[in-house]
Structure formats: C-alpha cells, structure tokens
Chain A
Amino acid sequence: MWDYTDKVMEYFRNPKNLGDVDNPDAVGEVGSMACGDVMRLTLKVEKGTDRILDARFKTFGCASAIASASILTELIKGKTLDEAAQVSNDDIARALGGLPSAKMHCSVMGHDALMAAIANYRHAPQPDSEEEGGKIVCRCFAVTDKHIERVVRENNLATIEDVTNFTKAGGACGSCHTQIQDIIDRVRRELAAEKKT
C-alpha cells in the first residue's frame, strides 16, 4: 500500500475541477494508456491578458495522478500563462504534502500537461517532443532526451532510479540505463560549471 498523504487522498476522493472546459482555448494531453497514465488539461484563457479563467482535467491513472492533475488546476487558475509556466512539478508535489518517491512522475506529468497546454495555446511544438528536436531515449515509455535533461536539471536528480521515479524512463526493459546515466552526468557537469561562473 502506498503511503499517500491525506491531501492526496482528499483530491483523489473529491477532485476539484474535474471535466473538460467547453470550447477550450488550450489543450494539453500527455502520457499514453499503454504507459498507465494519461492527463488531459483544458484551459479557458482570457484574450489579451493571457489569464487562465478556467482549468479542468481528466486523468486515466492512479490516485496520485488524479490528485496531481486536480491540484494543478487549482494552482494555475487566475494566473497568466507566464505566471503558470513558473509552477514546477515540485510545487505540485509540495501542494499535495509530498508524494511517494516512486510516484513523483505523477507530479512531473502534471507539469508536462501544463507546458503542453501552454505550447498548444501558443501554437508552439510540444515541449521536449521529437518535433522540438528531442530524441527518444526510453522506448518503453516514449521519453525523450530533452525531457530527461529538463527533469534532471529542474529537480537536481542524481541517479537512474531518481530519473525513473520522476519520468518513468528506464523503468521497464532497462536498456536505456547507460544513456540515462550519460544525460545525468552531462547535466550535473553543466550545473556545476554554471554554479562556478
């Protein structure tokens, strides 16, 4: 049994902002049914100010995936798209009082859905996608190098296990572990260099 916080269970039992916004101005859909979770975020955005007037979600997934999507909608409502873009996966996890480490990917997925919706609104390519120049590293869960890079950087991850917990990458056949380690090593070198300068 997972050690979910009361907050996770509260948002799982009585999710806020469930459903789809009518005639949404932005749609972000991430994940796949084969991977075990999918999130769809729909937004109503005020023209001119770019303010999020309404945000709703639908989720195929476990309790923490449902709770992450639901609390995300609360975190971003009323914010402009630029402000909302500052909401991190860590903000989602913290708003839920924390997630079990093996479930951190649910908070990352919430963040991904948000970034996908913003990109959709701006007619930009989907973040970290192959279209944006990302290369698939983990074939089992279709995770790109750009995505792993970003999550490692944003969450200061140090091990392959961390990367799996946060992105699912490397969580099945394991054949991409060397590539994941290379990405971790490179990002950590970059972070260290950035610190010095």
Chain B
Amino acid sequence: MKPLIYADNNATTRVAPEVVHEMLPFCTEQYGNPSSMYAFAQAPAKAMDTARERVAALVGAERPDEIIFTSCGTESDNAAVFGTLAALPDKKHVVLSSVEHPAVYNLAETLQHRGCRTTMLRVDSQGIVDLDQLANSIWDDTALVSVMWANNETGVVSPVKEIAAICRAKGVAFHTDAVQAVGKLPVNVREAGAQLLSLSGHKIHAPKGVGALYIKRGTRFRPFFVGGHQEHGRRAGTENVPGIVALGKACELAAAYLQDEVTRVRALRDRLEREILARVPDSFLNGGGADRTPNTTSISFEYIEGEAILLYMSDAGICASSGSACTSGSLEPSHVLRAMGVPIELAHSAVRFSLSRYNTDADVDYIIDKLPPIIARLREMSPFAPK
C-alpha cells in the first residue's frame, strides 16, 4: 500500500485525538447554547471559559477576556484591521508587509476602495521587513500596523519586538498574524508588545472553522460581526462551542508539545532540508538566512515547475505545497518569494515542506529517498536543464 507522508502542516493539520475526545461531548450530549439561562447550558458555557483561559495562557495574555473566538484566522485578521479602523474614524492609513498571508495582503485593495491609504513594507532577501521604512511610514492618521509573526511559505520569523517598539513609540496599534507562529515558537503577547494577535485552530491540531483574536485590554476596537451580545459584544454570532473547546485543548497541547517542536521537529526539518539540498543539484533554500519556525522549509528546484513536482510527489504519497502559479489558481507565483527577490523562475519551482509533531524520522527518510528521482525525471522533460 502507498504510504501517506503528510508534510503540509502549514496548510492544515491532523486533529489531535485528545482534541477530538474533548470536543465530542459538545456535539452530542452538551449541545446547549451557552447564552441560554437554564442549567443545561452551563456546561458549554463553562467549557468555553476553560478554553478561553487555555488560549490566553498559550499566548501570554493578561486576562482571558482579552481573547475573542472567531471562525478562522482570516476572520481574526479581518476583524483586527477593520475593527481597529472602525474604532478610529479619523485614521485613514494602514501599514502592512509585502509578505503577509492573503488574509491580510489582499485587504490592501479593499482598504483602498474604502478610501484608506496603505503602505506595503518591503522585505529583504530573507523576508524580514525594513524597520526604517516602518518607522518612516507611520503618520498622524495611521490606524494600525499589521506584520505577521511567522511566514506561512518560508517560516521566516519577523522581529516582532522591534516592530512593536516602533509602533509603541509612534502611538500606533500593532497587529500580528501569528497563525503560523503559535505552537511552533514561544509566543507571548506581553513580551512581544502586540495589541492584537490572530491565531487559527486548524494549524495547531484543532478542527477547521475556529480561530481567536487577542485584543489587549484598552485597545480601541469595534466589532467586525454585528448582532448579538456574544464575546462581550465584540463578536456576534452563536459560539462554535465544540470548535472552541477543541481550540482550547489544542492550545494546552501546543504548550506541552512546544519543546518537542523546537527540538525533535526542528531536527527532522533540518535533516530533511540538508539532505534534499545535498542530494538534489541546483536546489536553493528560501529564507534560510533568517530565524525560522522549526517545522518549515521552502526549497526551489531550478529548471522545473512546482505543480508538476507536487503531483509526482502525490503519486508517491507525499503531501507538500508550492509557490508556483499553477497551484495558486492565479497566473503569478508566490508574492512572498517575489517580495524577497527570489527570481521568478525559482518562485515557480518552490516547494514547501511543513512538519508537525506527528512526523517521524521514517517520513524524512521516505521523502529524501523519493524526491531526487522525481526532480531528475522532471528535469529530463525540461528544455532548460543541463544535460
């Protein structure tokens, strides 16, 4: 039987069995609406409190009520940006980075349509934002700076403390999309100095459809979803109790597994990366000169195109993703790699492997065994590959 080697954990993760176990009763017996008055609804309400405490603990929030639950990372990002702007009607400018996830990156166009100016911070060849440009891009009418904590494609970690210090000195709120950082790195909002932070459940072994937004106490914010009184009036809509319980448990596990992530998973990633670069000629690491999340590697294979690599790997049972245009559904390759100055043909040929606590040495052995012949085979087809 063909094995399944799942190395695409930055796309989504397997739900942890402990998480399934804890959330299931809230799908079956404990289905009450936490807003209801009767005793039957108390268990879900209490379970949400526990989940909120666990999320707050993982990100180092001062108080659990600084956490609001959302439907996903994208909602958290949208709520952070639009919620801040709505609370500051005189402010008409937002600073973003040029390597943000589409959940933030694509807000630029919408913001411009709504009469906001945006500044896209450039990054260096390793994907780190230009801090001087940031300092020079904050104006009297700047509402928010949003720079991701860790990049989804390369794993490159932003200097969040320095960014926060610049924002603090200029009196501007700082939001960070930490969807790819949480569970992979120590994330502490108080140490980092962020006012808003987004995270997502399904990237840390909870199911899809749940996320959270940290809003530091005292931060100006108006709800992005308007309706009922849920989440202290900051996010209307009946709470996804099973998902929230799952997210809470996943956060507790993430804290427990953080040591495994930064040691064992990092060693797996390092070996995978080292062996691929050694075994495959004309392969290049993207963002390798920067501090990165321990689970992610992005490698470009010159002369060939990413989608073809992914489909041949899929035939071998390996799941990964690519920065190529063909896999994005658009005609242009990864904006992240392009912003880093990666040549366009190498952006088309980039493959991302992202590991998790469930990956093993045997997985790495399998990939480094199967990948080189796949690359060689596709290069045989390429008009550019040297003979």
How long is the Cα–Cα vector from A83 to B208 in the complex, in angstroms? Answer: 54
A35 to B382, CA, bound (A): 15
Chain A residues, CB < 8 A from B266: none
* CB nearest to A168 among chain B residues: B331
* CB-contacts of B39-91 with A (<8 A): none
B344: chain A residues within 8 A (beta carbon): 33-34
CB distance from B198 to the nearest CB of A (A): 27
Asked if B386 is an interface residue, CB under 8 A from chain A, the answer is: no
Chain B 288-327, CB within 8 Å of chain A: the 1/0 string? 0000000000000001110110010001000000001110
B257 shortest CB reach to chain A, Å: 30
> If A36-B305, A36-B348 touch, does A59 touch B326 (CB 8 Å cutoff)?
no
The 8 Å CB contact of A141, one of B308, B330, B331, B382, is B331
Q: If A13-B315, A36-B331 touch, does A62 touch B324 (CB 8 Å cutoff)?
A: yes
Residue of B332, B348, B384 near A172 (CB, 8 A) is: B332
B330-387 at interface with A (beta carbon < 8 Å):
330-333, 344-345, 348, 380-384
Asked if A153 is an interface residue, CB under 8 A from chain B, the answer is no
Q: In whole angstroms, what is the CA distance A50 to B344 when docked?
A: 39
* A111 at the binding interface (Cβ < 8 Å): no
Q: Which of B303, B326, B384 contacts A62 (CB 8 A)?
A: B326
Given contacts A13-B315, A168-B331, A172-B332, contact A33 B384 (CB under 8 A): yes
- Report if A37-B331 is in contact (Cβ < 8 Å); known contacts: A15-B381, A63-B311, A66-B381: no
- Give which listed residue, B303, B307, B325, contacts A63 with CB less than 8 A: B307
Chain B contacts of A13 at CB under 8 A? 315
Contacts A102-B329, A172-B331; A12 near B324 (Cβ below 8 A): no
Q: Determine whether A38 belongs to the interface, using a CB cutoff of 8 Å to chain B.
A: yes
Which residues of A are found within 8 Å of B307, using beta-carbon distances? 62-63
Taken residue by residue from 6 to 50, chain A's Cβ proximity to chain B (1 for < 8 Å, 0 otherwise) reads as 000100110100110000000001000111111110000000000
Chain B residues with CB under 8 Å of A164's CB are 331
- Given known A60-B305, A62-B307, contact A34–B383 (CB-CB < 8 A): no
**Chain A residues near B304 (CB, 8 Å)?**
60
Contact assessment for B305 and A62 in the assembled complex, using a CB-CB cutoff below 8 Å:
yes
Q: Which of A98-145 contact B (CB under 8 A)?
A: 102, 140-141
Q: Which of A50-108 contact B (CB under 8 A)?
A: 58-63, 65-66, 102
With contacts A34-B344, A34-B345, A141-B331 taken as known, whether A58 is within 8 angstroms of B381 at the C-beta atoms is yes
**Complex Cα distance A63/B324, Å?**
12
Q: Which of B326, B345, B382 contacts A58 (CB 8 A)?
A: B382
Contact status B324-A36, CB under 8 Å: yes
Choose from A29, A59, A168, A171 the contact partner of B381 (Cβ within 8 Å).
A59
> Could you tell me if A58 and B383 are in contact, using CB atoms closer than 8 angstroms?
yes
Q: Is the CB of B308 within 8 A of A63?
A: yes
- Cβ-defined contact, B383 with A36, below 8 A: no
Closest beta carbon of chain B to A95's beta carbon, Å = 19
Collect the chain B residues with CB atoms within 8 Å of residue A66's CB. 308, 381
Q: Determine the chain A residues whose CB is within 8 A of the CB of B331 once the complex forms.
A: 35-36, 141, 164, 168, 171-172
| Interface of B toward A, CB cutoff 8 Å | 303-305, 307-308, 311, 315, 324-326, 329-333, 344-345, 348, 380-384
Can you list 8 residue pairs at the A/B interface with Cβ under 8 Å? A15-B381, A19-B380, A33-B384, A38-B384, A40-B383, A58-B381, A65-B305, A102-B329
New A-B pairs, 5, CB < 8 Å, besides A36-B326, A37-B305, A171-B332: A19-B380, A58-B383, A59-B383, A61-B326, A66-B381
